[in-house]
Amino acid sequence: MPPLETLRHTFIQLFGSAPQKIARAPGRVNLIGEHTDYNDGFVLPMAIDRAVLIAARPRTDRIVRMIALDFDNARSEFSLDAPITRDAADKWSDYIRGVAWALQARGFALPGLDLAIHGDVPIGSGLSSSAALEVCAAATFIELGRLEIGKLETARLCQHAENEFVGVKSGIMDQFISALARADHALLVDCRDLAYQNVLLPRGARIIICDTLKRRGLVDSEYNTRRAECEAAVRLLAAKLGKPIRALRDVSVEELARCENALPPVVAKRARHVITENARVLNAVAAARRDDLAVFGALMDASHASLRDDYQVSCAELDAMVEIAREERGCLGARLTGAGFGGCTVNLVEVNAVDAFISNVARDYHARTGLTPQIFACRAMAGAGVVV
């Protein structure tokens, strides 16, 4: 059975009657623009055809009952009439609890619900399974609660839930693209004011995601260190340039070139990555709009080199995957995507080379690392909504 029918059938088995609605929210891959978001910069994510689905029906009481099909039908429930707290035993439920908590804190009246959750976004791979779950939960509460909430407000509420309830200090990019994506397009997001533009993706190539199966380590501590180094760069560059600088977004490549020798070497490297990465994002958008696959791919390659050498967030597995990919016919560009230290790479591959690319990269990566990667082509999908 197709996934929707499978989920509907399973819901009937679990709860005794059919769901009233099924909502969907996609995961995402960031094509270019890494570690720029918390520097008020630019990112270019797209929603992928891996998603979270939630089948739901209203209850007559104020209880939310949840069953996670991907965790051996693990169950969790909470009352909307009591303070909503985290569940130490079933942490997956915190993302749904957090959305309900954030909605109620804003004064929205929520119905009790029975929920069955299923997803095929790889967990822990950097493709935003948590944001997809949050946005899907929000879409479900909004639909069945008949709430008037726009997509941008939905993204903000879901980010607030992750930051303040779950306790993960993420930016808004993941929830933003899951809620607002347009089919066949990436989304250029200005992380300073959340202005955004849809960007039609180049024709003649596919986006291929390669999961290294190296799960991300060191991310929290290194993330905090990188943020501190960027903040130090802002203070030092403001003094050197003699102008107010809110974030590295406000420094041009030319301005950095005049000052970087006066910065501590590590701080200069961090600043160089962020400032040149912002320029790469804007150049990639221009390349996409003129359907220039070669330039788009070259910018992806340059992004990986910068993340590896200047921002130092790559790892042996990511570097191996990128090196192997670039040796394949039809690979136009390859880079790590996400926070780094593991997870996935994103690759731009000519349409007629996709099958061979997937087969050969899987073989060669296994030979080099002993790991069997998950590799799949993906399409740019629309953002969250009710599908049934």
Question: pLDDT (tens digit, 9 = 90+) per residue, 147-187?
Answer: 999 999 999 999 999 999 998 877 789 999 999 999 999 99
β-pairing verdict for 196-200 and 205-211: unpaired
pLDDT over 70 (residue 16): yes
Residue 223 counted as domain residue: no
Rounded Cα gap, residues 123 and 38, in angstroms: 23
pLDDT at 79: 98
Residue carrying the six token digits 């959340």: 194
List Cβ neighbours of 42 (8 Å cut-off, separation of 6 or more).
33, 36, 188, 189, 190, 191, 249, 278, 281, 282
- Please check whether residue 354 lies inside any domain of the structure: no
In degrees, rounded to 5, the angle at the alpha carbon of residue 242 between the alpha carbons of residues 237 and 245 is 55
Amino acid identity at 335: R
Q: How many domains does the structure of the chain reveal?
A: 1
Give 3-state DSSP helix, strand, coil % of the chain, rounded to 5.
45, 20, 30
| List of residues 6+ apart from 292 with CB closer than 8 A | 202
- With a cut of 80, say whether residue 311 has pLDDT above it: yes
177-186, 212-221, 252-261, 273-282: lowest mean pLDDT where? 212-221
In a domain, 273, yes or no: no
Tokens representing residue 183 in the block: 């089919």
The whole-angstrom distance between residue 198's C-alpha and the CA centroid of its chain comes to 17
Q: Is the pLDDT of residue 321 over 80?
A: yes
| pLDDT bucket at 219, cuts 50 / 70 / 90 | low
On the question of pLDDT at 1 being above 70, the answer is: no
What value does the mean pLDDT take over residues 242-258?
A: 96
**Domain-located, residue 98:** yes
Does some domain include residue 177?
yes
Q: Is residue 172 part of a domain?
A: yes
| The pLDDT of residue 218 | 58
The pLDDT score that the predictor gives to residue 190 is: 96
Of 106-110, 222-226, 251-255, 271-275, least confident by mean pLDDT is 222-226
Give the pLDDT of residue 2: 67
Report which DSSP code applies to 169.
Answer: -
Pairing assessment for the beta strands 374-378 and 63-68 based on DSSP bridges = unpaired
Q: pLDDT (tens digit, 9 = 90+) per residue, 42-95?
A: 999 999 999 999 999 999 999 999 999 999 999 999 999 999 999 999 999 999
Is the torsion defined by CA of 240, 243, 247, 252 positive or negative?
A: negative
Q: What is the pTM of this model?
A: 0.92
Residue of 39, 41, 44 whose CA lies nearest to 227: 39
Is residue 267 domain-resident?
A: no
pLDDT at position 122: 83
Residue in 148, 174, 142 with CA at minimum distance from that of residue 54: 142
Query: How many Å apart are CA 300 and CA 302, to the nearest integer?
Result: 5
Each residue of 37-47: pLDDT tens digit? 999 999 999 99
Say what the pLDDT of residue 127 is: 85
Structural domain boundaries, residue 22: 3-201+382-386
Tell me, what CATH number does 180's domain have?
3.30.230.10
Q: What is the mean pLDDT of residues 208-218?
A: 85
- What is the pLDDT confidence band of residue 108, given thresholds at 50, 70 and 90? very high
Structure confidence by residue, pLDDT tens digits, 220-243: 678 889 999 999 999 999 999 999
Other CB atoms within 10 A of residue 230 CB: 21
pLDDT at 339: 86
Asked if residue 247 belongs to a domain, the reply is no
Q: To the nearest whole percent, how much of the chain has pLDDT over 90?
A: 89
User: What is the C-alpha separation between 378 and 368, in angstroms, rounded?
Assistant: 25
Taking the chain, what is the end-to-end CA distance rounded to the nearest angstrom? 16
What pLDDT, on a 0 to 100 scale, did the predictor assign at position 240?
A: 95
Question: For residue 235, which of 250, 217, 223, 222 has the smallest C-alpha distance?
Answer: 250
Closest CA to 134 of 175, 186, 187, 78: 175
The residues carrying an active-site annotation are 174
pLDDT reported for residue 128: 85
* pLDDT averaged over every residue in the chain: 95
Q: Taking each helix axis as running N to C, give the angle between helix 129-145 and helix 151-160, from 0 to 180 degrees, rounded to the nearest 10.
A: 120
Alpha helices for the chain (secondary structure H): 3-15, 94-105, 129-145, 151-160, 173-180, 219-241, 253-259, 265-289, 293-309, 316-326, 354-369
